[in-house]
Amino acid sequence: MSTAALPAQQPGRAVAWIVGVLVAIALFGNYYVYDSIGPVADLLQQQRGFSDSQIALLNAIYSLPNVVLILVGGVLVDRFGAARMTLVTAGICALGAALTAFSPDFAGMAAGRLLFGIGAETFNIATLAAVADYFGGRGLALAMGAELAIGRLGSYGADMSPTWFSKAYAAGWQPPLTIAAVIAATAFAASLAYWWVDRGPRRAGLLPTGHKQAEKFVWRDLLHFGTAYWYLLALCVLWYSVILAFRSTFSIKYFQHVHGLDLAMAGEMNSYVFLAAVFATPAFGWMCDRVGRYAPFLAFGALLLPVALGVLALTSASLWVATALIGISYSLVPAVMWPLTSRLVAPNRFGTAIGLMWVVQNAGISGANLVAGWLNDRAGASAANPGGYAPMMEFFGLTSLAGCVFALLLWWVAGRARHEKAVRA
C-alpha cells in the first residue's frame, strides 16, 4: 500500500467518526461470517455426512486464494480507493456467504467459502486503509484498535450464536448459516453507506487512497531483511496456523466430543478467547510500548499456546485454565508481532515485509486445517471415539512448540543486538 503522506487538509471529525462506525459494522460482519463454520461443524457432520477433512476445507479454502491475492490487495486499494474496494469486496463476501448457506451440496458450500475468501482479505486491507484515510495523524492507533476490537466481537458473536440463536440451531445446519448470510448483507449495506459518505471528501482531494501511484512488491527487498525478521515470520506462520485452525474450525467440536459440552456451552467457552482479546490486545500493546521490550513478551505469548494445548489434551484441569492461557496468547502475540515487524525492517520495505508474512500465514492456516481434518478422519475422531482427536492435538502441540522455539531464537537475536549496541555506545 502507498506510504505517501496524508493531504494537508483532512475530512471533518464528525464525518470521520461516521465512517468509523460504518467500517466497524462491516468488520463485525466479516469476522462473524469467517467464524460461522465452527459452531455448525458437528451439525454438518451429523446432518450432511461431511467428514472432518471436508469441514476443514471449508475454512482452508478461505485462505488459499489469499496466498496470491494478498500481494495485490494493497495495490488495488491504493489505486481505486479504500471506499470503492471496501464496497466491492463486501459484495463478494456477501455473495459467498449466501452461496455457503443455500448450496445443496458440499461443492457449492466450498465454492461459497472460496468466494468469501477472495473478497475477505482485501476487504480487511481496505477497511484498515479507510481508518488511515480518516484518522491519520489524529488518534490513528486508538481508532484502528477500536475497529479491530469490534471485528473480534464478530468472532465472539459467532461463537455465542448457538446460545443467542438456539432455535435456529435446533432447526438444523442451514438456519445458522442463513443468519451469517444476513449479517454479511448488513456488512455490505454498511460498506455502501461508507462509500456514499466518502464521495464528498474524496472529490475534494482530502483522502490519500485512490489517486496515488501504488508501490510495487519487490522480491529483491527480501534480501535486505535480517535474521530476526525471518524468525518472526516463522513464528507468525506456525502460531497463526495453530490458533486459527483450532479455534475457528475444530475447538467447538472438540469440546463437544472430548469434554462432553453441549453445543451452546462449547461455543460460549470458545468465545471467551475472542472476548478477552477485545480488551486485552490494546492493553498489551500499550504495556509493550511503555516497557520497550518486545521479544520477551512475544516469547511468553508464544509459549502459552503449547502449554494450553497440553492442558487440554493431557490433563483433567478445568477448561477455564486452557481457555485463559489461549486468551492471553491470542491477545499478546498480535499486540507485539506487528509493531515489532516495523522495528525489524526499514520503513520503505515495511509493506513488502507485511505482505510476505500474510502470504505465508494464509498458506499455513490452509495447510493446518487440511492436516488436522485428515488426522481426525484417519483416527476416526468422533463423540463415540474421543481418543481419535489425539493425533490432531499432537500435531497442533508440536507445531506450536516449533513456533515457540523461533520466538526464543528471536529473543536471543534481539538480546545480542541490544548488547552490541550498548558496547558500541
pTM, two decimal places: 0.75
Q: Which of 271, 253, 240, 251 has its CA nearest to residue 153?
A: 271
CATH class of the domain defined by 9-206: mainly alpha
Parse the chain into domains and list their residue ranges.
9-206, 216-425
Q: Is 114 helix (H, G, I), strand (E, B) or coil?
A: helix
Per-residue pLDDT tens over the stretch 162-192: 999 999 999 999 999 999 999 999 999 999 9
* Mean pLDDT computed over 89-102: 96
Residue 212 class from Cβ within 10 Å (0-12 exposed, 13-18 middle, 19+ buried)?
middle
pLDDT at residue 142 greater than cutoff 70 = no
Identical fold for domains 9-206 and 216-425, yes or no, is yes
Residue 236 neighbours by CB under 8 Å, 6+ apart? 337, 357, 360, 361
For residues 355 and 71, the answer to whether their CB atoms sit within 8 Å is yes
Superfamily of domain 216-425: MFS general substrate transporter like domains (1.20.1250.20)
* Band of residue 36 on the pLDDT scale cut at 50, 70, 90: very high
φ/ψ region of 292 (left if φ > 0, alpha if ψ in -120 to 50, else beta) reads: left
* Mean pLDDT computed over 310-323: 89
Q: Which of 48, 70, 57, 99 has its CA nearest to residue 371?
A: 57
Q: Which of 411, 400, 420, 403 has its CA nearest to residue 295?
A: 411
Per-residue pLDDT tens over the stretch 355-375: 678 788 888 988 998 999 999
pLDDT at residue 84 greater than cutoff 80 = yes
Which range is least confidently modeled, 60-69, 236-245, 247-256, 415-424? 415-424
| Higher per-residue confidence, 239 vs 350 | 239
Q: Which of 370, 422, 401 has its CA nearest to residue 110?
A: 370
- Terminal-to-terminal C-alpha distance of the chain: 36
pLDDT at residue 353 greater than cutoff 60 = yes
The per-residue pLDDT for 1 is: 41
Per-residue pLDDT tens over the stretch 196-236: 998 877 777 666 655 555 455 555 656 667 888 899 999 99
- The stretches of 49-165 forming alpha helices (DSSP H) are 52-63, 66-80, 82-102, 106-135, 140-164
